Amino acid sequence: MKKIGIGIIGAGRIGKLHAKSITYHIPEAEIAIISDPVIDVAKAVAGELSIPQYVADYKEVLKCPNVDAVLICSPTDTHADIAIEAARLGKHIFCEKPVDREIEKIVETKKVVEACKVKMQIGFNRRFDHNHKRVRDLAKSGVLGDIHVVKITSRDPEPPPAAYVRVSGGLFLDMAIHDFDMARFQSGSEVEEVFACGAVLVDPAIGKEGDIDTAIVTLKFKNGALGVIDNSRKAVYGYDQRVEVFGSKGMASGENDCPTTVRVSTAAEVSSDKPQYFFLQRYMESFVDEMKAFIDAVRRDAPVPVGIDDGLKPVVIAKAALKSLRENRPVRCDEIYRF
């Protein structure tokens, strides 16, 4: 069977990461070309991974005849336009999250992608994390009964620079967006109403940009279940990523991954490893697995596991959370967008 030809748009951290996944772990695909406006960055990755062609302009990636699918790893504000162009050229799309910060833009992308009948997978890699996936598999299997409560703890080890939150859309759009996706994934349902409670406790500079760094978001799901997410921009002990699903027949809960299992017992105390430091450590395997799933969907002409609606809905929840925070009241998702 012919290998799937891949074009990568954006050779930064995440673009390179996906390039490695394909090169080292997915023999069914082959990278034909990589682009980056900073040509030396594209060149370096192409050199390291023996990618035959590198260019500055992403349009050359889209035009490359050996490309069956593109990975959009460029800055967020370019995602939607590139995706639309790619779709019109009949290329399958893997797009980093969020598709866009504006709902209208995502909806427009969705229309084009669907009209062009190409596949589009969104990079919500955490669904592929071994722990979170196991929790979901248990819930789906019925072992937990009806789902009553989904609890997500999601804390970063370090806050981003305050300047970043100005453009990123803030905590709900750049960070909690993953958790909103996780809430949908774990509940197997849709979020109807959101109440967000936030505070500036980590860094006053973040507050000056009009954002928060600590949040608790309560969710009501269509199936009647409740959800709660707690976020912090700074957990000094490392990346804290835990999911708990509680149901009528039981609970499944995942702990953080640690570098080793070793415990040291001394006269002073018993100590053990801190969690993995950040997402590159914790979620490395999930990045490989999401890419395998994408390639597999393309090859078998099957639906992608995380589609364009999965890219849209967390943005709606994030907007509802933002509105809830500002107006200090619960906000229904259909106040933001009606599906």
Subset of residues 26 to 55 that bind a copy of itself, contact rule: CB under 8 A: 27, 48
Q: CB of 50: closest distance to a copy of itself in angstroms?
A: 8
The residues, any chain, with a CB within 8 Å of residue 47's CB and separated by 6 or more, are none
The residues, any chain, with a CB within 8 Å of residue 285's CB and separated by 6 or more, are 128, 129, 130
**Total Cβ atoms within 10 A of residue 145:** 13
Reading the block at residue 112, the tokens are 């084009």
Kindly tell me which residue out of 2, 262, 300, 301 binds a copy of itself, with binding defined by CB under 8 A. Answer: 262
Kindly tell me which residue out of 272, 280, 303, 326 binds a copy of itself, with binding defined by CB under 8 A. Answer: 272
Strand partners, 69: 6, 92
# binding residues, a copy of itself (CB under 8 A): 73
Q: CB of 21: closest distance to a copy of itself in angstroms?
A: 11
Contacting range for a copy of itself; rule: CB under 8 A; set: 101-109, 116-124, 179-187, 265-273: 265-273
Site string for a copy of itself, 48-87 (x = CB under 8 A): x---------------------------------------
Whether 5 and 68 have beta carbons less than 8 Å apart is answered as yes
Site string for a copy of itself, 211-230 (x = CB under 8 A): ---xxx-x-x---xxxxx-x
Contacting range for a copy of itself; rule: CB under 8 A; set: 19-27, 90-98, 118-126, 181-189: 19-27
Whether 234 and 277 have beta carbons less than 8 Å apart is answered as no
Give 61-91 as a 3 state SS string.
HHHCCCCCEEEECCCHHHHHHHHHHHHHCCC
Strands 214-221 and 191-199: antiparallel
CA distance 7 to 80: 17
Contacting range for a copy of itself; rule: CB under 8 A; set: 21-29, 71-79, 183-191, 292-300: 21-29
Kindly tell me which residue out of 75, 161, 259, 303 binds a copy of itself, with binding defined by CB under 8 A. Answer: 259
62: nearest Cα among 75, 50, 71, 73: 71
Kindly tell me which residue out of 54, 172, 185, 246 binds a copy of itself, with binding defined by CB under 8 A. Answer: 246
**199 counts as binding a copy of itself under rule CB under 8 A:** yes
Whether 130 and 157 have beta carbons less than 8 Å apart is answered as no
Which residues from 102-141 bind a copy of itself, rule CB under 8 A?
A: 130-131, 134-135, 138
**281 counts as binding a copy of itself under rule CB under 8 A:** no
Kindly tell me which residue out of 1, 270, 301, 338 binds a copy of itself, with binding defined by CB under 8 A. Answer: 270
**273 counts as binding a copy of itself under rule CB under 8 A:** yes
Report residue 192: phi and psi, to 5°.
-100, -40
The residues, any chain, with a CB within 8 Å of residue 52's CB and separated by 6 or more, are 32, 33, 46
Q: CB of 27: closest distance to a copy of itself in angstroms?
A: 7
Q: CB of 273: closest distance to a copy of itself in angstroms?
A: 7
